[in-house]
Amino acid sequence: MSLKYEKIREQLTERNSNAILYDGYEDALVGVALRFDMQAIACYDIQKCIKILMRRDKMSYEEATEWFEYNTMGTWAGEFTPIFINPYE
End-to-end alpha carbon distance in the chain: 25
**pLDDT by residue (tens digit) across 1-13?**
789 999 999 999 9
**pLDDT by residue (tens digit) across 22-49?**
999 999 999 999 999 999 999 999 999 9
The reported pTM is: 0.93
- Name the pLDDT band for 88 (thresholds 50, 70, 90): confident
* Stretch 10-25: mean pLDDT: 96
> Percent of the chain scored above 70 by pLDDT?
100
Rg for the chain, CA atoms, rounded:
13
42: burial class by Cβ within 10 Å (0-12, 13-18, 19+)? buried
